[in-house]
Amino acid sequence: MCAIFGIIGSYDETAAMDNFMALAHRGEDDYAFKANKKYFFGIHRLAITSFGREIDQPFVDNNYIVVFNGEIYNYKELALKLGISEPSEVKVILEAYKLLGDSFVEYINGMYAISIYDGSKLKLFRDNAGKKPIFYSLQNGTLWFASEIKAIRNDLKADKKAILPYLSFQTTLAPNTFYNNIFSLPSGSFMTFENSKITIKSHFLPLNNKIIYTNSKDAADAAKDALVEAVSKRIPENHIPWGALLSGGIDSSLVAAMASINNKIDTFCIGYEERFASYDERGYASKVAKHTGSNHHETIMTKEKFFDALNEVEDILDQPLGDPASIPLFVLLKNVKECGKRVVFTGDGSDELFLGYKTYKEYHDIEQASQLKYKNWLQGFLRSHYSPNKEWEWYKRIFGGSLLFRSTAELFTDLQQNRLLKQNVKDDNSLQYLEQYWQEFAQSGRANMIDWYSFCDMKVKLGDLFLTKLDRISMACGIEARSPFLDPSVLKLAFSIDPDVRFGDTSKALIKQVAYEYMPHDIVERKKRGFSYPYMEWLLEENELQTIRQVQRERKIFNDEALEFILSKAPSGGFKHHIFALYMLCRWLERN
């Protein structure tokens, strides 16, 4: 696990070194680079699989230079097939590429951002789920790429157009970022840079998997087998200290329970002061920890820790991210680091792949309204009776024949943005950012919208929002985060299950069938709670929402009346996620 950095073309040596060293926080163990007047390749290493060995990157073999960030869990098995003695991950990557070309990524199991240069062309590969990032920029004929934006930003200006997708989805969507000429390589794709031209192709198309499992028992059995193997292969070797994050919810609990079958593990959770007991789920986490026999660690999040972490997280993220969970995650992972761990397991991916969000049921019910024979009156009624709530726009989309589901990451709807911003935001503006994914869905031949829910969220909420947060925060803390639900076999399995079976009668029905074997039934059956904590109470206590008003006075981005309407709801908890996203945007605008 590490940071990769590269330049192809002419460059200033001092600037290149400064940019490369901006990534030092991602690899505390050592670093190395190889450079001449035409290229620069570097790596900062956090040694996990390679712990105790000398750094072997950049890996050079004749004309080839390879750097990669991530973990390849099956590199030893591939080495046997390829006849490689004394294998390393990077050596296996190159030999597989030589033998199989671009399709080699179909045979590796792991999370990765890979760069392969052969003297004339550069290839960049990103893993199926998007666990490991790659950003790139073509500047005056020279290509820069890196694990984080801060290493290639230089003097590039922020892109005001990025505000719209950010308000829609709490983040920008690949390939775009908040900077005019910096792009993110989409998950499950690879880039070729040759003769000063960039081409990008997908290497992972989950919707092309055939439906194999048509009943819940077979699907649950397959999910169990895939998860058991995914957890097992992620348990570190070389006596690397590791643990698991534990919220008390079903996903992290199942991962921790599977990991603890033959291991005494450490588990970590976060809680809040007594006056905020309604947010605290430590009791559930403690119950799971007792069941698994783990060494359990609790971190108390306070207002002081919140604001201390907020300032650090802003620097870590490079651009605005509207997910308030990034702050407690940073506090928690700092504690994990202080306890000496280098690897943690997470439950990321389960909700998106196995349909765990309760709003999926709401969307599915609302979809049925499109079949109403006499809906014109309802369509007219909605137009003349506006409501600022998202449900109003959901029905408007259905009666207007538009695409309803635009990811559970959707925050400000198009009409909410049109009223908030001092610019005309047209109906369905947010669809343009999802067009690439909708085309892929349409071309797959799948017609069940349940598949669209899962696929869209895998790309948007998981890939561009949650995994962005997880990568930046974990790496800033010197922690490698491993997510068994994002194993390639689990990703493929999810889209090989009949969507109605995957949807089930209750949220995440298949995962619950698996979990009954590993956890107390009351943990499995308890009602899912969306993650929340008292960030709004703390922001109000410190009068921090004035930051939004100050930016508004200086820049006049928003409509005053619409902005004040939203802010007025903060004391009662209304629009609090919207307000947090505005707060993070305005803090970023102040600094940029």
| Ranges in the chain annotated CATH 3.40.50.620 | 208-355+463-525
Strands 110-117 and 64-72: antiparallel
Residue 72's closest CA among 30, 109, 106, 104? 109
| Ranges in the chain annotated CATH 3.60.20.10 | 2-204
pLDDT of residue 369: 87
pLDDT tens digit sequence for 54-97: 788 999 999 999 999 999 999 999 999 999 888 899 999 999 99
Residue 190's closest CA among 108, 121, 115? 115
CA distance 178 to 165: 10
CA distance 318 to 472: 9
In the sheet that holds 183-184, the strands lie side by side as 30-35, 39-45, 2-8, 142-146, 135-139, 183-184
pLDDT tens digit sequence for 278-288: 888 898 899 99
Strand spans (E) along 308-414: 343-345
- Find out whether 41 and 75 touch, Cβ atoms under 8 Å: no
> What is the architecture, at CATH level 2, of domain 2-204?
4-Layer Sandwich (3.60)
CA distance 94 to 90: 6
- Enter the CATH code of domain 208-355+463-525: 3.40.50.620
Q: What is the DSSP letter of 528?
A: P
CA distance 476 to 460: 23
- Find out whether 294 and 260 touch, Cβ atoms under 8 Å: yes
pLDDT of residue 371: 85
Please give the average pLDDT of every successive group of 10 residues along the chain, which has 592 residues.
92 96 93 96 88 84 96 95 90 96 96 97 98 96 97 83 97 96 97 97 95 97 98 90 92 96 94 88 91 95 96 94 97 97 96 95 92 82 83 90 96 94 92 97 96 98 98 96 97 97 91 93 79 94 97 96 97 96 96 82
Question: 326-338 vs 303-317: helix axis angle to the nearest 10?
Answer: 100
CA angle 406, 160, 454 (to 5 degrees): 15
pLDDT of residue 483: 98
Is the overall model pTM greater than 0.75, yes or no? yes
CA distance 194 to 7: 13
pLDDT of residue 558: 96
